[in-house]
Amino acid sequence: MKTVISDPKTKKAYAKTVDNPAMFIGKKIGQEVELGLLGLDGYKAKITGGSDKQGFPMKNDMEGGLRKKVFIMKDAKHGTKQKVARRGNLVTDEIAQLNLKVTKEGSKKLEEIFAGNAKETTDDLSFKEKAVKESLANVGKIDASAAKDIKGKIKG
């Protein structure tokens, strides 16, 4: 299970993968949990939501841990409703991601604990972005042999 721990003071979120999610099973949205087993000694967090393995989000006012189809108001002005699937507010083994909000801090700051897990944003480009960046770097750079081949084929 993946946990996303957000710090309301710094307004940053940190992801941590949990091998044994038994400490969260049976808890509901809105309950506080100790984060000592995650390596965050002294930290307490409130469960704010999550999503299951297929990506369906949890709904805090729906009891249980099953997935159900419910009506949700899409447009309050016109009164249109839409039937969508949501997961209940109980954490089960079907939950893939759990969102947590820190309520009590420990002795170390989250930035110090997760400093080694920070991603470099410079190498975080997609293939398409890298290709565009490379092509922009090569604009106007045509070697002489390619220019001779092009010269006879262009009308002008």
Q: Is the pTM of this model over 0.85?
A: no
Reported as a single tens digit per residue, the pLDDT across 50-89 is 999 999 999 999 999 889 998 888 877 888 888 999 999 9
Among 84, 85, 95, smallest CA distance to 27 is for: 95
Check pLDDT > 60 for residue 139.
Answer: yes
Query: Rounded to 10 degrees, what is the CA torsion of 73, 74, 76, 79?
Result: -80
Reported as a single tens digit per residue, the pLDDT across 1-44 is 999 999 999 888 999 998 888 889 999 999 999 998 888 889 99
Per-residue confidence band for 98, with pLDDT thresholds at 50, 70 and 90: very high
Check pLDDT > 70 for residue 152.
Answer: no
